[in-house]
Copies of this chain bind each other. A is one copy, B any other.
Amino acid sequence: MSINPHLDVVTAFVSELAQLGVKHVCISPGSRSTPLTISFARHGECKTWTLLDERSAAFFALGLARSSGEPVVLVCTSGTAAANYLPAVVEARYSRVPLIVLTADRPTELRNVGTNQTIEQVGLYGAHVKWSIEMPTPDGAKELLAHARSTAARSVAIALSTPKGPVHINWPFREPLLPPYEVQDEVNTQLPKGLHIESGQRQLTASRLEYLAKMLTSIENGLFVVGPQFQQELAAPLLEVATRLQFPVLADPLSQMRAVSEEVDLTCVVDRYDTLLRHSDLMQGEIWDKLKPDVVIRLGQAPTSKVLGAYLSKLDDVRQIVVDESDEWRDPLFRASELWLTDPVILFSELKELLPQRETSLFAQHWLSLNDSIEKRQVFEVEHIEEQYVGEDLPHLFEGRIFTELARVLPLDARLFVGNSMPVRDVDSFFPKMHKSLFMLANRGASGIDGIVSSALGACAGTSRKTVLVIGDVSFYHDLNGLLIAKQYQLDLTIILVHNDGGGIFSFLPQATQEDVFPYFETPHGLEFQSVIEMYGGSYHQVHTWSDFEVKMNAAMENHGLQVLELRTVRALNVEMHRKIFSACRDVLL
């Protein structure tokens, strides 16, 4: 043992994390966390990221973990530092992202007695972590080394087991935090290390699979609805099953089933349901009958589209199957008649081997041809809507068009991160299905507008792939602090900033009809972001036309560092343009 009891224990913990494949640790500076910080800096094999604002740090870790699927470690000092992690921990819990949160603390005897910078950290994240543990205060007992290694392995195992999620380890350290020390070799040699973990997945037996395959084959008119989910490998087997069964797939943009590689058959994918289902008053009689499924199979989180949710609610006499790897009960509409609790990737990979190819399906044809008609009309409207506003002072760019343009200019394998509120709704309405593999990311666990910039930077940090974030001005403002990470680590993120000076989404909601109180919702702030973007070392470009957008996007994809392309739009006109486009598409249904 070394002179310092902390460091041996912490080093045992840190080296075990590294041996189990943890690659990244995000550290916020602080004194109480000194043993952790030093251990990661000196003895770990993880890449260290130093981040000053713990709220942004946690969202950065979330972005990194979401895009890699691997657990990312957070380290902070005691007190409100740990409290600042909560928003990202909540998001991680509901969107199933593995985080290992390490909070330094004062030892037990200094709690609840008025000690400075000491809060109730045990249980701080409540139900929002999958597991939490308070470590014993290192006191030199050798058994604590073995316990630390075991706990490190356990934290990785739990963060990664189904459903993935955050875990919290509270580390009490008694002073002195930093005497001279030397970690003894025995710490690294005399203990078992790199605990090997084989972790099974939830699966159905062969006989149940055969039963389900037969059952699916017997269904005439089936419909898949896939909400946000971040396993890119689900697209191929699920779409193959859909193709064999001739079931249309209503694919949320975050389902990873709109922009896929050449090998994946996209024929069954319906990407315009959000426009189609808006016209629910027309959804009766013949159209309704032709589109009505016998069975709905739902996967992923609740779909982004509100009208799709309303449509599913209306199907209350239809058999609805929810497929999920966990028993967290993803049935916000209470319409499920069957739950298949099993790993979806394995399920569809195995099912596709058991299913014959169905010849044709009138039901699928109805969905797909209507989708096709709406797409054509919508594309036309999007391209021409701005012409109605020519001659006015500003170049009135239509916000939704960002996504039809991005679909063209994004390079292969790019990552597209979309902010909550309007961007995620627009990507849903306007991003076309296409053969170009893209990874589509968003924070849809709790759907906050906080931490988006940092989350996108985290997604960007773990990869050499081009990463683009589309975000509104309120959400951008909320996480301006995250931009420091881009400056410090020269991260290559391109941000499309949709600036309409306020919470644009509220212009679409009934609150807009209450004139006297509407300022409490739309909240114009009058901020001009160029200077702050430049403070963080970014380059700022205003975009005035779509050809301008293409030129600047192409340049951004070539350049390095933080690039911000700002589109100025007008809230009220944006609502009007959306309504006109959706309304024009209604003609297709008449």
Contacts and interface: CB of A to CB of B under 8 A. Distances in A.
A506 B29 contact: yes
Interface stretch (A12-20, A111-119, A362-370, A557-565): A111-119
Contacts of A534: 531
Interface of A: 27, 29, 31, 34, 37-38, 41-42, 48, 50, 52-55, 79-81, 83-84, 86-87, 89-91, 93-94, 109-110, 112-120, 123-124, 126-128, 176-178, 301-302, 328-332, 334, 444, 446-448, 450-451, 474, 477-478, 480-481, 484, 487-488, 503, 506, 509-511, 514, 516-517, 519-523, 525-529, 531-532, 534-536
B481 A478 contact: yes
Contact of A34 (B55, B511, B522): B511
A127 B126 CA distance: 10
Contacts of A87: 80, 83-84
A178 B511 contact: yes
A115 B523 contact: no
Nearest to A127: B120
A301 B114 contact: yes
A114 B328 contact: yes
Contacts of A523: 29, 50, 52
Contacts of A91: 80
Given A37-B521, A50-B520, A90-B83, A484 B527 contact: yes
Contacts of A31: 506, 509, 511, 521
A80 B84 contact: no
Contacts of A120: 126-128
Contacts of A525: 52, 484, 487-488
A521 B484 CA distance: 16
B480 A480 contact: yes
Contact of A90 (B54, B94, B119, B334): B119
A116 B447 contact: yes
Nearest to A330: B114
B117 A447 contact: yes
A446 B128 contact: no
Contacts of A176: 510
Contacts of A517: 37-38, 41-42
Chain copies in the assembled complex: 2
Given A113-B330, A116-B302, A123-B126, A514 B448 contact: no
A52 to B, nearest CB: 6
Nearest to A505: B31
Contact of A55 (B55, B94, B117, B484): B55
A331 B83 contact: no
Given A478-B53, A506-B29, A510-B178, A37 B447 contact: no
B80 A41 contact: no
A83 B523 CA distance: 21
Nearest to A79: B446
Contacts of A334: 109, 113
Nearest 6 interchain pairs by C-beta = A531-B531, A80-B448, A114-B330, A115-B332, A80-B87, A83-B87
A114 B328 CA distance: 8
A52 B478 contact: yes
Given A29-B520, A55-B55, A481-B481, A332 B447 contact: no
A120 B87 CA distance: 12
Contacts of A503: 29
A80 B487 contact: no
A501 B37 CA distance: 20
Given A94-B119, A119-B128, 20 more contacts: A29-B522, A31-B511, A34-B521, A37-B520, A42-B516, A50-B519, A79-B447, A80-B90, A80-B91, A80-B448, A84-B450, A93-B119, A113-B334, A114-B301, A114-B302, A115-B302, A116-B447, A120-B128, A177-B510, A487-B526
A447 B30 CA distance: 12
B113 A516 contact: no
A114 B29 contact: no
17 contacts: A29-B474, A31-B511, A50-B520, A55-B55, A80-B90, A84-B86, A93-B119, A110-B332, A114-B301, A116-B302, A116-B332, A117-B446, A120-B126, A126-B126, A481-B481, A487-B525, A527-B535
Given A42-B516, A113-B329, A29 B127 contact: no
A81 to B, nearest CB: 7
Contacts of A511: 31, 34, 178
Contacts of A488: 525
Contacts of A37: 517, 520-521
A301 B114 CA distance: 7
A534 B534 CA distance: 13
Contact of A528 (B115, B128, B302, B535): B535
